[in-house]
A and B are shown apart, each in its own frame.
Chain A
Amino acid sequence: MKEHHLILRVVTKSLVGTIILFAFYVQFHGDFSPGGGFQAGVIMAVAFILYGIVFGLHEVQRVLPAWVVHKLVALGVLVYAGTGIWNMFLGYEFLHYGSFTPDHMSHGQHSGILYVEAGVGITVTGVMVAIYYAFAGRTPRLGNDDW
């Protein structure tokens, strides 16, 4: 397989970790600053897509196999809806996060938002990476002159 330029590979390797860290920051700091599950999911997916673009689909799928990604797509929705159903088991309405800590409603809101944002992030990451895999899996490799 034709390898990309050395500088591209080195820079990518150093960037991927930072991007994933930033994704987690956006995910868990969404309560205090711009961002949340949707944005964090996309950023997380970008880390894997960047790795895939530079090192090839095969390499990135050793880290994150396609079957895991397909499970993630569904897992996020299940986490989100599961949070709501959990609230119902605790005796409140669907997605009434206050039910996690009935004595101090706003604490429950914190945990509820954390869970549903995690669900959103997982699904968005899964969908973005899955679509990239689907595209890249069918793409004939292009030389620089083909563009």
Chain B
Amino acid sequence: MTETIVNFILFSMLVITAFAIVRQDRLFTVVMLASVFSLLTAMLFIALDAVDVAFTEAAVGAGISTVLMLGTIALTARGAKPASRPNTLPLLVVLVTGAGLVYGTLDMPNFGDPEAPSNVHLSPHYLTNSIEEIDVPNVVTSILASYRGFDTLGETAVVFAAGIGVLMILSGLRHRRRKDEEEEEDA
């Protein structure tokens, strides 16, 4: 009962935050609200007992993303441009995509369904055997780093590739040498 109320409040606040973001023109406010949105999501993850994910969401979503978005604002513009064309087509696309996603969830097993495919043999195996096989109390760590070590290697490679990509875009390889020279002259 308590959990239902907590979930209800958190989801309502998420929706309110989302509408507040849509209605804002000042990007600084938008970034701050997005940070609030991430924190609320992190609290939802805690309510779902997914503390590791909540930790990541709070650190990355509410922390680093906010800083990087503020950096982007500082490089570009402080306010959103008013829409020059009518919003009908984008609204239609959003509605159709949203309907498609909701339709897709209809086939998914209910939350916490013991008959769900992942709960039938995979999760029980991890939960019963991980102490014996890996001997690490936090099952999330043993799944992430050992059972699914290949996945995590791929994730690390993705972080690596994303970082390199952002660096290459931001440093603007073609102009860098000229810019460095200018800075040296300034200094």
List residues of A whose CB falls within 8 A of some B CB.
Answer: 26, 30-39, 42-43, 45-46, 49, 53, 70, 73-74, 76-77, 80-81, 84, 94-95, 97, 105-107, 109-110, 112-113, 116-117, 119-120, 123-124, 126-128, 130-132, 134-136, 138-140, 142, 146-147
- Decide if A113 touches B136 in the complex (CB within 8 Å): yes
> What is the count of residue pairs linking A and B with beta-carbon distances less than 8 angstroms?
142
List residues of B whose CB falls within 8 A of some A CB.
Answer: 28, 51-52, 54-56, 59-60, 63-64, 67-68, 71-72, 74-75, 78, 132-138, 140-142, 144-146, 149-150, 152-153, 155-157, 159-160, 162-164, 166-167, 170-171
- Decide if A116 touches B145 in the complex (CB within 8 Å): yes
With the chains together, A134 CA to B166 CA distance in Å?
Answer: 8
Q: Looking across the interface, which residue of chain A has its beta carbon closest to that of B59?
A: A42
- Decide if A113 touches B145 in the complex (CB within 8 Å): yes
- Decide if A42 touches B60 in the complex (CB within 8 Å): yes
With the chains together, A45 CA to B145 CA distance in Å?
Answer: 21
With the chains together, A120 CA to B159 CA distance in Å?
Answer: 9
Known contacts A73-B163, A106-B132, A113-B134, then 9 further A-B pairs from the complex at CB < 8 Å, ordered by chain A residue: A39-B59, A42-B63, A73-B160, A94-B150, A109-B134, A113-B141, A131-B167, A132-B71, A135-B72
Secondary structure class of chain B's binding surface, majority of residues? helix
- Decide if A120 touches B136 in the complex (CB within 8 Å): no
Interfacial chain A residues near B149, Cβ < 8 Å:
84, 95, 97, 112, 116
Interfacial chain B residues near A42, Cβ < 8 Å:
56, 59-60, 63-64
Interfacial chain B residues near A80, Cβ < 8 Å:
152-153, 156
Nearest Cβ in chain A — how far from B4, in angstroms? 24
Nearest Cβ in chain B — how far from A26, in angstroms? 8
Nearest Cβ in chain A — how far from B93, in angstroms? 30
Interfacial chain A residues near B52, Cβ < 8 Å:
34-36, 39
Interfacial chain B residues near A142, Cβ < 8 Å:
74
Q: List 19 A-B contacts (CB under 8 A).
A: A26-B55, A34-B51, A34-B55, A36-B140, A39-B55, A42-B63, A46-B63, A49-B67, A80-B152, A105-B133, A106-B134, A109-B136, A110-B135, A123-B159, A131-B68, A132-B71, A135-B75, A136-B71, A147-B78
With the chains together, A38 CA to B140 CA distance in Å?
Answer: 13
